[in-house]
Amino acid sequence: MTERYTAADFSSFGPDSLDLTKDVADLTADLLDIYSVSGEEKRIADLVEAALSSLGHLEITRDGDSIIARTNWGKPQRVVLAGHLDTVPLPAVEGSLGTVPSVWKEQDGARLLYGRGATDMKGGVAVQLALAALLTDAAYDITYVFYDNEEVASELSGLGRLMRNHAQLLTDADFAVLLEPTNGTIEGGCNGTMRFWIHTSGLRAHSGRAWKGENAIHKMADVLTRLATYQPATYEVEGLDFREGLNAVQISGGVAGNIIPDEASVHINYRFAPNKTLEEAVAHVEEVFSGYELDFVDQSAAARPGLDAPMSRSLIESVGREPQPKYGWTDVARFSEIGIPAVNFGPGDALLAHTDNEHVSDEAVRQCLRALENWLTAT
């Protein structure tokens, strides 16, 4: 059963206000109880803005359903803590976990919180909000960024919009931490991503007289063979191994059961390591599919790890775990593009993101909060 929920279906769930001083795991549950699928973030953005506005040490700027909250303590360096408010759509299976409202479960001695966005990434957002209330002074000035539309096409990104409309509030930072799920370790940089279509054309005919036509689906065989035989590479970048991937993610074609198809299309996703520029990645797929026209629909640059930045090294020391690469694309790439070193660090296992049993432990969220608090207040 598939069904597209809307915010109206969940208007009775969730808190009327956010208490940023409560246990950060319980704050995570409150955030999960607020429906905020991409494009429907207004309610959660309203509550986040109201909670932040009650804190006297922050300067608040709102743009659509994105919010920037800044301290102005006069510190010599500034850190950005960023996270997105939206989630992917909810599963529509009756009684399944990973829905709104959230569900607490005890498992193997751990207390687990289930709900859409538990890992991606309302646990991280809860840590941001808790820090905003907790830290009335720190070793750095802090810019908290909460934004909409991360889980959809890049041109809709709330962070991208903030960078266009309020660049002066972001570009003065020296370092950024994106609180995407990393299982409690630091993940440096990210792979780049691009999507494109390859189309084949033929001649429509009755399948009883197939020799009169040209089968566009059969012409797709060469493209699929190139994909099936492609050997993705792994590249070491600043001490981290980034695995690439080139995969068909959608395919379409055909008219009816008795018609030779005259059109077919395959949608391809390329995940490329940060040793390549966007232009070099485009050139690579054009070489792989030489002879075909590539119809690009999305292109996002990769980001180098940034682990050699002094603030990154101090964060690694505070976390106390070996950094790992980020295989997926994240908004660290946007910060990297404007010259701000950035890493991913947040609670929860990224492998659970977007799944119907998405969950995070209460202790994982608390550990993330402690690590960032210790780092931000260390002198």
Closest CA to 196 of 98, 282, 80, 70: 282
Q: Active-site residue among 40, 65, 148, 150?
A: 150
Contact call for residues 135 and 42 (beta carbons, < 8 A):
no
Q: Please name the residues in contact with 76: beta carbons below 8 A apart, sequence gap of 6 or more.
A: none
Strand order from edge to edge, sheet including 141-147: 59-63, 66-70, 141-147, 78-84, 175-178, 342-344, 187-188, 324-325
Phi-psi region of 132 (alpha: psi -120 to 50; beta: other; left: phi over 0): alpha
Residue among 263, 264, 353, 337 nearest 299 (CA):
337
Can 86 be counted among the known catalytic residues? yes
Tokens found for residue 77: 């360096």
**Chain mean position to CA 274:** 17
172 is catalytic: no
Give the helix/strand (H/E) hosting 226. Answer: helix 221-229
Euclidean distance between CA atoms 113 and 318, whole angstroms: 26
Question: Given 40, 41, 86, 244, which residue is catalytic?
Answer: 86
Among 181, 365, 182, smallest CA distance to 373 is for 365
Q: Is the distance from CB of 367 to CB of 184 less than 8 angstroms?
A: yes
Q: Which of 180, 103, 187 is nearest to 358 (CA)?
A: 103
Residues in the chain: 379
SS3 content of the chain, % helix, strand, coil (to 5): 30, 25, 40
Q: Which of the residues are catalytic? A: 86, 150
